[in-house]
């Protein structure tokens, strides 16, 4: 069924009061169930589970994955099955929409746990208590929610801005509940089958699951003589190296450095294959190019030149050259320089985001501000504006105070950063409204450099305000993107706002304990340290970027090898050239400077797995072009369910493996 909408002429000429009246009479679904107990609980549970997978993938790749459409499909399938079994009434379209709002906000709230907050812990060498993380994440996210309310009526009700991602979610929901339910169930089954296969494979490569099966269930340590559980090697090349040691066969090296020390391994990581399928061939190719330039070309040269060396740990142990050492000692600098320069050029190339943001906040002359002269038809379903007028100042002061009390940011700097954060939030929200692109990375760097110019001595003074920028802006933008499908389908925005708050609480309560379980491991001496977080499995590339900028602000380029400084300069120039070419060719230039920089700090084995995933779906999209064919339905229309299945199946089993390793000593 076609979703009713205003024409362009009506959008231009009608007052906001007229638009509100039209929406109330033609779209609003009255008292159709929306934020019910079951939609709230379903969203809370789905949000907790999907945010956990988001934390897992974010720690591996630095990429925040969206879970909105995945939650829509899962909730639809769950209640359609329960309804068919006579166990529950079917979900209404608005209940499903509210569920996806909750799940989506849960997915986004965890971003600091693999970016800004982790970078702060690394720089300060300090482990933040979990209760402080939960409070900070919830309070800062609430500021973004409160900032969104005044913008909602302007951006959505009056200007009818597209919010493409939110609109796509609304269209999917409409298609599921108005005659194309079979397509929804097909995608749900596809997701479930792929997730099952990915989970089974992940169990085979996980020592915890194999220990549970072989030792605790089958008791193979007692009757088969097993001392260690058998697992399939996720690093498939390990089979060759095991044979080569026995046979004294060839060990591949580049300029005398073993390629294993460079991180050049072949890992069959299904979660990364799924991430690659979602990111697309252009981004995945750029990541692979960055990894190739860094680990195949530059790193061996720098090792030979003596700019990357073995070092002595504080304990006196020799730390050998590894992928992590290559990144920390040398590569991080040019990779971060390319990402920051590229993201800022991209932002600067879109001045309309700034101008449109300011124009959208001005009152139009032809509508008297758009306010109704009579009673407000939407007063009982909109969030009252007084909530924001009171809530934003109160929560902002509270957020500044806890940032000072918990993390040592001077209180006056936290307060001073707020006006800039609010301005950048408006820009970010307008960008989401027009393009579905939330430039939180580049916008947060503006805050980071600005605060760093005021106080260079304390990295927390630039890291945490920048983290506040990212969280506040993303929550404001994503709340409005979530409200867009509700507006299209006739839901109550007040219910979705409440749902968003439920989701961010679900995400924080789920992922903070999981963060400590997965990443805060004691070292050989039993000491839990922030420096132990980065491993070959969890590279925290986003946190490495934030940490690099903070250290650059605090120390400048002093102490860096000359080769690193030259590489940074070349990277900045290259990023500018690449982004200019993308602008001139209107996006057809196949490389992305930000993605190239990301490939530098990601493990190269992960970039290869992501490229394989992207290449697979790119080939299938070229092979199956007939929209009526089974191949098109499976590989093109089913791309997101397949990728979501790969990610969720592998990630949940990986999380379970970490838990089992704690429980099964």
Predicted confidence band at 315 (pLDDT cuts at 50, 70, 90)? low
Summary count for the chain: helices (H), strands (E): 29, 4
Task: Give the integer Cα–Cα distance in Å for 113 and 58.
Answer: 9
What average pLDDT does the segment 340-361 reach?
67
pLDDT at 189 over 80: yes
High-pLDDT (> 90) share of the chain, %: 16
High-pLDDT (> 70) share of the chain, %: 90
Q: Give the pLDDT score at 135.
A: 94
Q: Annotate 111-121 with b (16+ C-beta within 10 A) or e (fewer).
A: bbbbbbbbbbb
Q: Give the pLDDT score at 526.
A: 64
Which helix (H) or strand (E) is 258 found in, with range? strand 257-258
Q: Give the pLDDT score at 278.
A: 83
Token duo for residue 439: 């430039």
**Domain-embedded: residue 648:** yes
> Out of 288-297, 352-361, 448-457, 650-659, which region has the weakest mean confidence (pLDDT)?
352-361
**Domain-embedded: residue 638:** yes
Q: Give the pLDDT score at 371.
A: 47
Position of tokens 């769950």? 78
> Out of 265-274, 540-549, 622-631, 655-664, which region has the weakest mean confidence (pLDDT)?
655-664
DSSP 8-state symbol, 92: P
pLDDT tens digits for range 123-148 = 888 888 999 999 999 999 999 888 88
Q: Which domain holds residue 317?
A: 236-348+550-663
**Domain-embedded: residue 107:** no
Predicted confidence band at 162 (pLDDT cuts at 50, 70, 90)? confident
pLDDT tens digits for range 289-302 = 999 999 999 999 99
pLDDT at 62 over 50: yes
**Domain-embedded: residue 466:** no
pLDDT tens digits for range 24-35 = 888 888 888 888
pLDDT tens digits for range 220-244 = 888 888 888 888 988 899 899 989 9
pLDDT at 374 over 60: no
Give the residue among 120, 81, 169, 102 at the shortest CA–CA distance from 487: 169
* Total of domains in the chain: 1
In this structure, are residues 484 and 156 in contact, taking their beta carbons and an 8 Å threshold?
yes
What average pLDDT does the segment 68-85 reach?
76
pLDDT at 369 over 60: no
Please, what is the average pLDDT of the chain? 82
pLDDT tens digits for range 479-519 = 888 888 888 888 888 888 888 889 889 889 989 998 888 88
**Crossing angle of helices 93-109 and 460-489, rounded to 10°:** 170
Residue 40 backbone dihedrals phi, psi, to 5 degrees: -65, -45
What average pLDDT does the segment 387-405 reach?
90
What average pLDDT does the segment 423-434 reach?
75
In this structure, are residues 613 and 272 in contact, taking their beta carbons and an 8 Å threshold?
yes
Predicted confidence band at 463 (pLDDT cuts at 50, 70, 90)? confident
Task: Give the integer Cα–Cα distance in Å for 520 and 588.
Answer: 43
Per the model's pLDDT, the better-predicted residue between 664 and 426 turns out to be 426
Strands (E) in 477-560, as ranges, are none
**Domain-embedded: residue 632:** yes
pLDDT at 435 over 80: no
Predicted confidence band at 355 (pLDDT cuts at 50, 70, 90)? low
The vertex-656 CA angle with 228 and 235, nearest 5°, equals 55
What average pLDDT does the segment 616-637 reach?
89
Token duo for residue 483: 């409200």
**Domain-embedded: residue 655:** yes
Predicted confidence band at 314 (pLDDT cuts at 50, 70, 90)? low
Predicted confidence band at 9 (pLDDT cuts at 50, 70, 90)? confident
Predicted confidence band at 201 (pLDDT cuts at 50, 70, 90)? very high
pLDDT tens digits for range 89-112 = 878 888 888 888 888 888 878 888
pLDDT at 581 over 50: yes
- In terms of Cβ atoms closer than 10 Å to its own Cβ (0-12, 13-18, 19+), residue 129 is exposed
Predicted confidence band at 367 (pLDDT cuts at 50, 70, 90)? very low
DSSP 8-state symbol, 267: B
pLDDT at 373 over 70: no
Q: Give the pLDDT score at 619.
A: 95
What average pLDDT does the segment 658-663 reach?
77
If you count them, how many residues does the chain have? 665
Cβ-Cβ contacts under 8 Å for 447 (sequence gap 6 or more): 417, 420, 421, 424, 462, 465, 466, 468, 469
Task: Give the integer Cα–Cα distance in Å for 12 and 241.
Answer: 67
Cβ atoms within 10 Å of 558's Cβ, excluding its own: 6
Predicted confidence band at 365 (pLDDT cuts at 50, 70, 90)? very low
Cβ atoms within 10 Å of 497's Cβ, excluding its own: 24
């Amino acid at each position: 069924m076609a979703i009713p909408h205003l024409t362009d002429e009506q959008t231009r000429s009608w007052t906001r009061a007229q638009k509100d009246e039209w929406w109330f009479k033609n779209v609003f679904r009255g008292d159709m169930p929306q934020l019910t107990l079951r939609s709230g609980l379903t969203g809370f549970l789905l949000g907790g589970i999907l945010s956990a997978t988001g934390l897992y993938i974010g720690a591996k790749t630095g990429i925040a994955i969206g879970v909105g459409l995945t939650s829509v499909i899962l909730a639809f399938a769950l209640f359609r099955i329960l309804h068919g079994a006579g166990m529950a009434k079917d979900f209404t379209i608005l209940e499903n929409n509210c569920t996806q709002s909750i799940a989506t906000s849960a997915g986004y709230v965890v971003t600091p746990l693999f970016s800004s907050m982790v970078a702060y812990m690394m720089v300060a060498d300090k482990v933040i208590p979990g209760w402080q993380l939960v409070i900070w994440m919830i309070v800062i996210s609430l500021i973004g929610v409160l900032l969104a309310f005044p913008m909602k009526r302007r951006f959505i009700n009056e200007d009818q801005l597209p919010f493409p991602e939110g609109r796509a979610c609304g269209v999917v929901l409409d298609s599921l509940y108005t005659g194309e339910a079979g397509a929804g169930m097909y995608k749900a089954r596809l997701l479930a089958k792929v997730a099952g296969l990915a989970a089974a494979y992940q169990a085979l490569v996980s020592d915890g699951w194999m220990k549970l099966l072989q030792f605790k269930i089958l008791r193979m340590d007692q009757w088969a003589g097993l001392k260690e559980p058998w697992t399939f090697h996720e690093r498939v090349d390990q089979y060759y190296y095991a044979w080569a040691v026995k046979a004294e066969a060839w060990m591949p090296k580049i300029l005398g450095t073993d390629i294993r020390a460079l991180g050049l391994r072949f890992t069959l990581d299904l979660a990364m294959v799924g991430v690659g399928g979602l990111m697309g061939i252009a981004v995945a190719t750029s990541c692979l190019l960055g990894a190739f330039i860094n680990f195949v070309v530059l790193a061996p040269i720098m090792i030979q030149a003596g700019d990357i060396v073995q070092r002595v740990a504080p304990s006196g142990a020799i730390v050998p050259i590894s992928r992590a050492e290559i990144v920390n000692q040398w590569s991080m600098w040019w990779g971060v320089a390319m990402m920051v320069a590229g993201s800022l050029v991209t932002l600067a190339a879109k001045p309309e985001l700034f101008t449109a943001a300011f124009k959208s906040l001005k009152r139009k002359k032809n509508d008297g501000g758009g306010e109704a002269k009579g009673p407000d038809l939407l007063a009982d379903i909109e969030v009252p504006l007084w909530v924001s007028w009171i809530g934003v100042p109160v929560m902002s002061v509270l957020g500044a105070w806890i940032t000072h009390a918990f993390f040592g940011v001077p209180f006056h700097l936290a307060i001073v950063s707020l006006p800039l954060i609010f301005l950048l939030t408006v820009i970010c929200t307008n960008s989401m409204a027009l393009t579905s692109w939330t430039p939180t990375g580049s916008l947060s760097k503006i805050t980071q450099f600005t605060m760093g110019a005021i106080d260079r001595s304390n990295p927390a003074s630039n890291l945490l305000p920048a983290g506040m920028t990212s969280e506040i802006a993303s929550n404001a933008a994503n709340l409005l993107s979530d409200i867009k499908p509700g507006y299209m389908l006739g839901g109550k925005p007040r219910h979705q706002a409440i749902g968003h708050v439920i989701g961010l609480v679900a995400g924080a309560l789920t992922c903070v304990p999981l963060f400590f379980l997965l990443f805060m491991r004691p070292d050989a001496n039993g000491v839990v340290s922030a420096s132990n977080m980065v491993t070959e499995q969890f590279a925290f590339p986003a946190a490495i970027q934030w940490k690099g900028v903070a250290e650059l602000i605090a120390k400048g380029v002093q102490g860096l090898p000359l080769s690193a400084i030259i590489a940074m300069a070349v990277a900045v120039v290259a990023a500018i050239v690449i982004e200019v070419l993308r602008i001139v060719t209107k996006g057809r230039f196949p490389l992305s400077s930000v993605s190239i920089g990301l490939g530098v700090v990601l493990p190269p084995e992960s970039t290869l797995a992501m490229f394989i995933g992207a290449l697979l779906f790119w080939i299938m999209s070229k092979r199956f072009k007939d929209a009526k064919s089974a191949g098109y339905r499976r590989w093109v229309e089913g791309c997101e369910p397949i990728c979501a299945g790969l990610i969720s199946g592998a990630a949940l089993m990986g999380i379970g493996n970490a838990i089992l390793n704690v429980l099964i000593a």
